[in-house]
């Protein structure tokens, strides 16, 4: 498996996915060699591998160690290479180059790579080793940019991966459709597999008190264009026009936060808004408990683990129709991310009706628990098997007739 | 009757919550696929079998209103059926509502009276047999219906009230009532209404002679086959063979000498009840539970139901026909049916009927209508009060 991040380093969605997936896969007996870049460690020289026993982690150095000749005064020894370039894109390219030399998993049945970051190395390795390639798309450049100046060279890498891979895993049917339509992917080898949620860290049951209403509406997410914060603000403004007693909270940080604050100021909303900045898990949970509605109007969300995490607390949720997770959820309210009238209407109804909040919240909490990593891993294992099988068949067919004689 | 898409924002200026465009389109479609062709077929069958084939209908007031508005030819075809003397019309609430479940029966009685007037005006008939919305029935409803002078009432033949007994007999409500209760034989009724078009049913395809044989094997006084009229042509399309089935059914049944067709009134005159039924908790013909959970299962439904019911005193005080009509139309049971969240874990039979994406959307739209009505009622009451005060002051 070729990845980029892994807890405890840079534990974003991708890292968590890899951790949970590999944990469940190894439980099913799969042996995994996991390649990732070696990042400058905060804890001195402790390696990521030290934290995990269920798989073999190979941290790929940016530069190899250099053997320094001893001089006339002795000395010499080994000098650690430079770290990865500070520039992200350069670092990615460096990593992929280094990976080709560092690769030594020649007994693997399948190569599994994640997102565009690993595509160059993965494709090259597939050609060199002849091993089948599985490519998981967690998000596309279209998703991340929300349609705003997507970077073409990244899209080209994504397209390369989609076409070169023997099997593609998309984190949702919604993403699969994108791959088929935007990248002309071959639908017969694209498999939608939903992510899971680790429920251990989340409350086991709903303890929300629906009778206690603060008339508060919550946005909790990265404040980036992809998550649709501007639509949240627009809907808020419409709600306040009808009912000035409602409060809105925007929790999180991101590059669009200044713009959101400006919007609030310009629209005289500051006395009804709270911008909390970054919140810890405990603070997030407290916000879920004490808010009446959770709104995430994502422009394009390939899956949406954060939606599920919110729902398990029992908070009634409004999300956009362009989310991966929404395709499998009945107990959320869905509106187009741009339809702020509809969202405002839903918010007002939810605030007015305890019955609706409780019904939606409780049923939603129950439904959100059906996304398990075990399910994800089982489906992934099926794709591995299918891929290996297809490869075997191709190899058998490729043998000239005379060989069998 | 479909509600328009209502928002808190663009509140309608009057109480016109209905999506006329949609209602017209739907009514036209069902008229052409079901009402007209089936009525025509029934007329032919009645003539062919010299009056031995009999049918009963229960038409709600809202159905009639829409027919009068969009397709008067449908009314005419029912009138033709009425004229044959082989077709009986039953009583129900004008608005196909759940008012029967309210503690105070006043509104319920008024809606039944309104329906009676309609049947008299339209077909010159005075129904003797009553059928409540979705066959909802309990002890109290039976009492009210008996008090209105009906001879019989129909409901669902569920084991919950029968125990080991057969639905093929007449019963009466316990406690010395004179009312006769006709129970739907749900197995045989649902064979036609639900299973007819299901290719994976082990009795598929259902032919008229096979079905007639089953009917002949049933023991008792009567086999009551109650179903939605849309079974013929709308739920089961023409291609399923449902019209062929219906065409041959009377003939096949009449081949068995011990069987014949009868209208509800005829049944009631011929037979006496063989036992009592005791129904403290309402039953119905809906879902597998056959109770009222399809409409009153979750809090959202309860809230809407209670809100409408609690508006009664204000609406009565206002005496505004437009408001009263809108209030009653909102009582149609369908609106609550769409807010049901029961099915979501199991299957989706409710979604077939629902025009909404989700029961939550249904609740939001329905709630918007109800809240708007509440506001307008309050507003007009206030206006009335002011006018009254001004009048009193000027004297």
Residue B264 lies in a domain: yes
Instruction: Tell whether B215 and B247 lie within a shared domain.
Output: yes
Instruction: Tell whether B106 and B31 lie within a shared domain.
Output: yes
pLDDT value of residue A54: 83
Residue B3 lies in a domain: no
Instruction: Tell whether B368 and B272 lie within a shared domain.
Output: no
What is the arithmetic mean of pLDDT over A64-86? 57
Distances (CA, A) of A63 to A37, A40, A79, A89: 11, 12, 10, 16
pLDDT value of residue A147: 81
Contacts of A354 in chain B (CB under 8 A): 299
pLDDT in tens, A23-34: 999 999 888 998
pLDDT higher than threshold 70 for residue A74: no
pLDDT value of residue B264: 94
Instruction: Tell whether B273 and B303 lie within a shared domain.
Output: no
Whether A348 has its CB under 8 Å from any CB of chain B: the answer is yes
Instruction: Tell whether B44 and B135 lie within a shared domain.
Output: yes
Torsion over CA: A282, A286, A289, A295 (sign)? negative
Residue B287 lies in a domain: no
Among B7, B344, B358, the residue with its CB nearest the CB of A341 is: B7
8 Å CB contact of A356 and B357: no
Tell me how many domains chain B contains. 2
Torsion over CA: A262, A263, A266, A270 (sign)? negative
Residue to test with chain B: of A239, A330, A347, most B Cβ within 10 A:
A330
The one catalytic residue among B92, B134, B156, B252: B134
pLDDT higher than threshold 50 for residue A107: yes
> Of B216, B247, B277, which one is at a domain's C-terminal end?
B277
Residue B289, min C-alpha distance to chain A (Å): 21
Q: Is the pTM of this model over 0.95?
A: no
Chain-centre distance for alpha carbon A11: 10
Report the range of poorest mean pLDDT among A95-104, A170-179, B329-338.
A95-104
8 Å CB contact of A356 and B363: yes
> Of B220, B243, B277, which one is at a domain's C-terminal end?
B277
Cα–Cα distance between A275 and A251 in angstroms, integer?
A: 6
Residue to test with chain A: of B5, B6, B8, B362, most A Cβ within 10 A:
B8
Among A344, A345, A356, the residue with its CB nearest the CB of B360 is: A356
Whether A356 has its CB under 8 Å from any CB of chain B: the answer is yes
Give the CATH number of the domain where residue B187 resides: 3.20.110.20
Q: To the nearest 10°, the Cα dihedral for A363, A368, A370, A375?
A: 170
Contacts of B357 in chain A (CB under 8 A): 334
Among B9, B300, B344, the residue with its CB nearest the CB of A356 is: B300
Among B9, B299, B368, the residue with its CB nearest the CB of A358 is: B299
Instruction: Tell whether B138 and B190 lie within a shared domain.
Output: yes
Question: What's the domain range around B357?
Answer: 299-383
Enumerate residues 6+ apart whose C-beta is below 8 A from B75. Answer: B64, B67, B68, B122
Instruction: Tell whether B151 and B202 lie within a shared domain.
Output: yes
Confidence class for position A181, pLDDT limits 50, 70, 90: very high
Enumerate residues 6+ apart whose C-beta is below 8 A from B345. Answer: none
What is the arithmetic mean of pLDDT over A159-185? 94
Residue B1 lies in a domain: no
Domain A13-196+374-395 and domain A199-368, same fold? Reply is yes
pLDDT value of residue A223: 92
**ipTM score of the complex?**
0.72
What is the arithmetic mean of pLDDT over A28-45? 76
pLDDT higher than threshold 90 for residue A400: no
Q: What does residue B151 show for φ and ψ, rounded to 5 degrees?
A: -90, -30
Instruction: Tell whether B273 and B307 lie within a shared domain.
Output: no
pLDDT higher than threshold 80 for residue A337: yes
Among A348, A349, A359, the residue with its CB nearest the CB of B299 is: A359
pLDDT value of residue B314: 94
Listed residue (A266, A375, A313, A306) closest to A16, CA to CA: A306
Instruction: Tell whether B168 and B38 lie within a shared domain.
Output: yes
Contacts of A334 in chain B (CB under 8 A): 357-358
Residues of chain B whose beta carbon is less than 8 angstroms from a beta carbon of chain A are 7-9, 298-300, 302-303, 341, 344, 357-358, 360-361, 363-364, 367-368, 371
Instruction: Tell whether B368 and B234 lie within a shared domain.
Output: no
pLDDT in tens, A113-154: 999 999 999 999 999 999 999 999 999 999 888 888 888 989
Q: Is B117 a catalytic residue?
A: no
Residue B63 lies in a domain: yes
Residue B92 lies in a domain: yes
Compare all CA atoms of chain B with the CA of A343 and give the residue at the minimum distance: B7
What averages of pLDDT result for each successive group of 10 residues across chain B (395 residues)? Answer: 73 80 91 95 94 94 94 95 94 95 94 96 94 94 95 94 94 92 94 89 92 93 92 90 94 92 94 94 89 90 94 93 94 91 60 80 91 92 89 80
pLDDT value of residue B199: 87
Cα–Cα distance between A225 and A337 in angstroms, integer?
A: 12
Residue B8 lies in a domain: no
Q: Could you write out the DSSP letters of every residue in A27-53?
A: HTT---EEEEE-PPPTTTT--GGGG--
Q: Where are the alpha helices (DSSP H) in A166-228?
A: 173-183
Enumerate residues 6+ apart whose C-beta is below 8 A from A154. Answer: A116, A141
Residue B159: CB atoms within 10 A of its CB come to 11
pLDDT value of residue A63: 62
DSSP letter assigned to residue A244: T
8 Å CB contact of A363 and B344: yes
8 Å CB contact of A363 and B299: no
8 Å CB contact of A359 and B298: yes
Share of chain A above pLDDT 90, in %: 59
Residue B236, min C-alpha distance to chain A (Å): 28
Distances (CA, A) of A46 to A40, A55, A95: 10, 17, 20
pLDDT value of residue B351: 64
Report CA Rg, chain A: 24
Enumerate residues 6+ apart whose C-beta is below 8 A from B216. Answer: B253, B256, B258, B259
Instruction: Tell whether B329 and B184 lie within a shared domain.
Output: no
Confidence class for position A403, pLDDT limits 50, 70, 90: very low
pLDDT in tens, A379-395: 999 999 999 999 888 88
Is pLDDT larger for residue A402 or for residue B77? B77
Fold classified for A199-368: Rossmann fold (3.40.50)
Residue A315: CB atoms within 10 A of its CB come to 25
- Enumerate the β-bridge partners of residue A60: A37
8 Å CB contact of A341 and B302: no
Q: Could you write out the DSSP letters of every residue in A135-177?
A: EEES--HHHHHTTSS--HHHHHHHHHHHHH-SEEEESSHHHHH
Among A344, A346, A363, the residue with its CB nearest the CB of B341 is: A363
What's the farthest any 2 CA atoms get from each other in chain A? 85
The CATH classification number of A13-196+374-395 equals: 3.40.50.2000
Instruction: Tell whether B198 and B242 lie within a shared domain.
Output: yes
Contacts of A356 in chain B (CB under 8 A): 299-300, 360, 363-364, 367
Distances (CA, A) of B39 to A60, B206, B230, B279: 79, 22, 12, 35
pLDDT value of residue A262: 93
Ordered by start, the domain boundaries in chain A are 13-196+374-395, 199-368
Whether A328 has its CB under 8 Å from any CB of chain B: the answer is no
């Amino acid at each position: 498996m070729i990845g980029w991040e892994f807890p405890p380093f840079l534990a974003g969605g991708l890292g968590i996915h890899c951790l949970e997936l590999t944990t469940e896969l190894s439980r099913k007996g799969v042996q995994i060699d996991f390649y990732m870049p070696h990042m400058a460690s905060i804890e001195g020289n402790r390696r990521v591998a030290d934290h995990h026993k269920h798989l073999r982690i190979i941290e790929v150095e940016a530069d190899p160690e250099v053997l320094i000749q001893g001089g006339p005064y002795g000395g010499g020894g080994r000098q650690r290479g430079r770290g990865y370039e500070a520039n992200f894109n350069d670092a990615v390219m460096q990593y992929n180059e280094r990976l080709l030399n560092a690769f030594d998993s020649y007994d693997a049945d399948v190569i599994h790579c994640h997102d565009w970051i690993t595509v160059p190395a993965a494709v090259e390795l597939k050609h060199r080793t002849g091993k089948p390639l599985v490519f998981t798309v967690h998000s596309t450049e279209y998703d991340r940019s929300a349609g705003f100046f997507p970077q073409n060279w990244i899209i080209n890498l994504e397209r390369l991966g989609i076409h070169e891979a023997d099997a593609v895993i998309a984190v949702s049917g919604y993403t699969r459709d994108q791959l088929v339509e935007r990248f002309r992917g071959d639908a017969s080898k694209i498999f939608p597999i939903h992510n899971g949620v680790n429920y251990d860290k989340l409350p086991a049951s709903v303890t929300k008190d629906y009778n206690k209403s603060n008339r508060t509406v919550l946005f909790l997410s990265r404040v980036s264009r992809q998550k649709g914060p501007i639509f949240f603000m627009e809907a808020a403004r419409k709600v306040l026009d009808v009912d000035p007693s409602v409060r809105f909270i925007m929790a999180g940080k991101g590059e669009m936060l200044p713009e959101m604050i400006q919007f609030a100021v310009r629209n005289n909303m500051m006395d009804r808004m709270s911008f909390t900045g970054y919140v810890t898990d405990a603070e997030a949970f407290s916000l879920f408990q004490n808010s009446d509605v959770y709104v995430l109007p994502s422009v394009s969300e390939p899956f949406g683990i954060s939606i599920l995490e919110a729902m398990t607390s029992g908070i009634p949720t409004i999300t956009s129709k362009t989310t991966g997770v929404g395709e499998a959820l009945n107990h959320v309210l869905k509106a187009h991310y741009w339809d702020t009238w509809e969202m405002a209407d839903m918010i007002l109804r939810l605030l007015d009706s305890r019955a609706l909040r409780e019904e939606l919240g409780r049923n939603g909490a129950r439904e959100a628990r059906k996304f398990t990593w075990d399910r994800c891993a089982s489906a992934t294992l099926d794709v591995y098997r299918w891929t290996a099988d297809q490869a075997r068949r191709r190899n058998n067919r490729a043998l000239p007739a005379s060989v069998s004689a | 009757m479909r509600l328009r898409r209502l928002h808190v924002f663009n509140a309608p200026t009057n109480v016109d919550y209905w999506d006329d465009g949609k209602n017209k389109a739907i009514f036209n479609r069902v008229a052409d696929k079901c009402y007209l062709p089936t009525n025509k077929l029934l007329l032919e069958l009645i003539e062919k079998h010299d009056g031995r084939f009999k049918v009963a209908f229960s038409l709600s007031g809202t159905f009639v209103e829409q027919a009068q508005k969009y397709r008067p030819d449908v009314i005419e075809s029912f009138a033709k059926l009425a004229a044959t003397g082989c077709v009986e019309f039953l009583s129900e609430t004008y608005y196909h509502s759940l008012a029967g479940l309210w503690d105070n029966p006043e509104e319920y009685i008024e809606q039944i009276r309104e329906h009676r007037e309609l049947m008299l005006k339209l077909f010159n008939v005075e129904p003797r047999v009553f059928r409540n919305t979705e066959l909802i029935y309990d002890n109290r409803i039976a009492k009210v219906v008996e008090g209105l002078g009906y001879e019989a009432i129909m409901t669902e033949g569920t084991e919950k009230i029968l125990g080991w007994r057969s639905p093929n007999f007449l019963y009466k409500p316990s406690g010395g009532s004179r009312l006769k209760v006709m129970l739907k034989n749900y197995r045989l009724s649902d064979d036609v209404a639900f299973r007819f078009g299901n290719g994976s049913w082990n009795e598929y395809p259902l032919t008229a002679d096979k079905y007639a044989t089953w009917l002949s094997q049933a023991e008792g006084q009567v086999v009551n086959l109650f179903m939605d009229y849309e079974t013929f042509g709308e739920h089961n399309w023409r291609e399923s063979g449902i019209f062929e089935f219906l065409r041959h059914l009377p003939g096949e049944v009449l081949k068995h000498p011990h069987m014949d067709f009868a209208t509800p009134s005829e049944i009631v005159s011929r037979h006496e009840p063989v036992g009592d039924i005791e129904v403290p908790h309402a039953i119905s013909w809906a879902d597998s539970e056959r109770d009222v959970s399809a409409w009153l299962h979750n809090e959202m439904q309860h809230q809407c139901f209670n809100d409408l019911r609690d508006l009664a005193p204000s609406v009565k005080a206002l005496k505004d026909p437009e408001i009263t009509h809108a209030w009653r139309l909102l009582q149609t049971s369908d609106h609550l049916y769409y807010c049901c969240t029961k099915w979501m874990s199991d299957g989706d039979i409710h979604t077939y009927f629902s025009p909404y994406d989700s029961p939550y959307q249904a609740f939001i739209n329905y709630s918007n209508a109800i809240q708007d009505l509440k506001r307008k009622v309050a507003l007009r009451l206030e206006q009335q009060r002011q006018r009254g005060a001004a009048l009193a002051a000027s004297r």
